[in-house]
């Protein structure tokens, strides 16, 4: 990996850890942004992490741009030798695949899609070499995902599939973005899955919907009262397929203030994962299930 630094005027430094997304690049970026936060560098006013890059905003009257750059390069040197183990959490996210709401929406925008005669799932299954939509859905929820970035719109997580690169699902975005996407749609674009935190425009393929809110600016939902955004970089997600009955039941539980996401604390080692992907994922599933 070759890190690239670029100034954005006098108040920003953009740091690109690598040109392509990988868990190695994400972990280095995460290590560097955590170090900036932990060191409490005078003048730093905002830290904006992304998938394989980040941006630092600082007050040039407190720390000169050149000095800020020097601090980041020292942090990079330390990050090269940092422990690739983090204390994080694994979260179960229920998903109603092939739901009626995303299906109705995607059918309104077929002229903007690569395959106007099928659905988004039909297209995704075909170009990834799956014999059926059912097999593709099984691949989507069969392995965990790393939350590598939260943003674009408030609370939206970008999630990277935790399998070998040759097994990763890849699906292009729509040819032209839609003007509508249902809230809590589970989408896919490039190598990233996401959950649309609010209703709005979008270009990711639509696979289903979750009944679990992930963003609440009013902080009225029981598990979002402490902070309006549910996800944070480093979270691990396991999708759980559900049917319409379970979807409706979960919506009712959320509205009644009784729904509690299934969350377990875990330690994740990148080195152990790269040495044994399936074994590490199995351990994560056992932790999630309380085994």
15: CATH: 3.30.1360.40
Mean pLDDT of all residues in 109-126: 97
Q: Give the span between the Cα atoms of 270 and 29, in whole angstroms.
A: 14
Residues 145-193 have pLDDT tens digits of 999 999 989 999 999 999 998 999 999 999 999 999 999 999 999 999 9
- The answer on 76 and 149 residing in a single domain is no
Per-residue pLDDT, 1 = 64
Domain boundary among 82, 105, 124: 82
Domain boundary among 58, 82, 106: 82
- The answer on 224 and 166 residing in a single domain is yes
CB of 127 within 8 A of CB of 171?
yes
Per-residue pLDDT, 61 = 96
Percent of the chain with pLDDT over 90: 88
Report the predicted TM-score, pTM, of the whole model to 2 decimal places. 0.92
Task: Residue 75: give the domain boundaries.
Answer: 4-82
- Does 64 score more than 90 pLDDT? yes
Greatest mean pLDDT range, 25-34, 48-57, 148-157, 246-255: 246-255
Q: Give the span between the Cα atoms of 291 and 288, in whole angstroms.
A: 8
Question: Which residue bears the tokens 């600016």?
Answer: 217
- The answer on 157 and 56 residing in a single domain is no
- The answer on 137 and 102 residing in a single domain is yes
- The answer on 124 and 19 residing in a single domain is no
- Per DSSP, what are the bridge partners of residue 55? 14, 48
Q: Give the span between the Cα atoms of 237 and 162, in whole angstroms.
A: 10
6 C-beta neighbours (distance < 10 Å), count: 10
CA 104 remoteness from chain centre: 25
- The answer on 218 and 106 residing in a single domain is yes
Mean pLDDT of all residues in 66-95: 91
| Intra-chain end-to-end CA distance of the chain, in Å | 37
- The answer on 94 and 197 residing in a single domain is yes
Per-residue pLDDT, 184 = 98
Alpha helices in the chain (DSSP H): 23-39, 65-79, 100-108, 120-127, 133-142, 244-255, 270-275, 277-288
**1 token code pair:** 């990996």
């Amino acid at each position: 990996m070759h890190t690239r630094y670029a100034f954005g005027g006098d108040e920003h430094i953009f740091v690109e850890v690598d040109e392509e997304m990988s868990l190695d690049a994400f972990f280095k970026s995460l290590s560097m942004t955590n170090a900036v936060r932990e060191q409490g560098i005078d003048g730093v006013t905002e830290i904006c992490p992304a998938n394989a890059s980040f941006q630092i905003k600082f007050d040039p009257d407190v720390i000169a741009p050149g000095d800020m750059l020097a601090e980041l390069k020292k942090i990079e040197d330390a990050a090269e030798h940092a422990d690739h183990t983090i204390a994080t959490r694994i979260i179960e996210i229920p998903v109603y695949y092939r739901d009626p709401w995303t299906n109705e929406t995607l059918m309104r925008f077929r002229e903007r899609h690569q395959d106007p005669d099928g659905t988004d799932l039909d297209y995704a299954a075909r170009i990834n070499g799956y014999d059926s939509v059912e097999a593709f859905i099984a691949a989507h929820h069969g392995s965990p995902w790393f939350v590598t970035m939260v943003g674009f719109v408030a609370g939206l997580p970008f999630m990277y599939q935790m399998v070998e690169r040759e097994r990763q699902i890849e699906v292009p975005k729509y040819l032209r973005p839609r003007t509508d996407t249902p809230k809590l749609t589970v989408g896919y674009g490039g190598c990233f899955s996401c959950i649309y935190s609010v209703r709005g425009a979008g270009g990711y393929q639509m696979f289903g919907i979750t009944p679990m809110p992930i963003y609440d600016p009013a902080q009225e939902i029981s598990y979002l009262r402490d902070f309006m955004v549910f996800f944070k970089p480093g979270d691990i997600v396991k999708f759980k397929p559900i049917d319409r009955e379970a979807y409706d039941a979960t919506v009712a539980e959320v509205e009644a203030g009784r729904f509690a996401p299934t969350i377990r604390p875990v330690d994740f080692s990148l080195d152990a994962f790269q040495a044994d992907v399936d074994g590490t994922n199995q351990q994560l599933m056992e932790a999630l299930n309380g085994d």
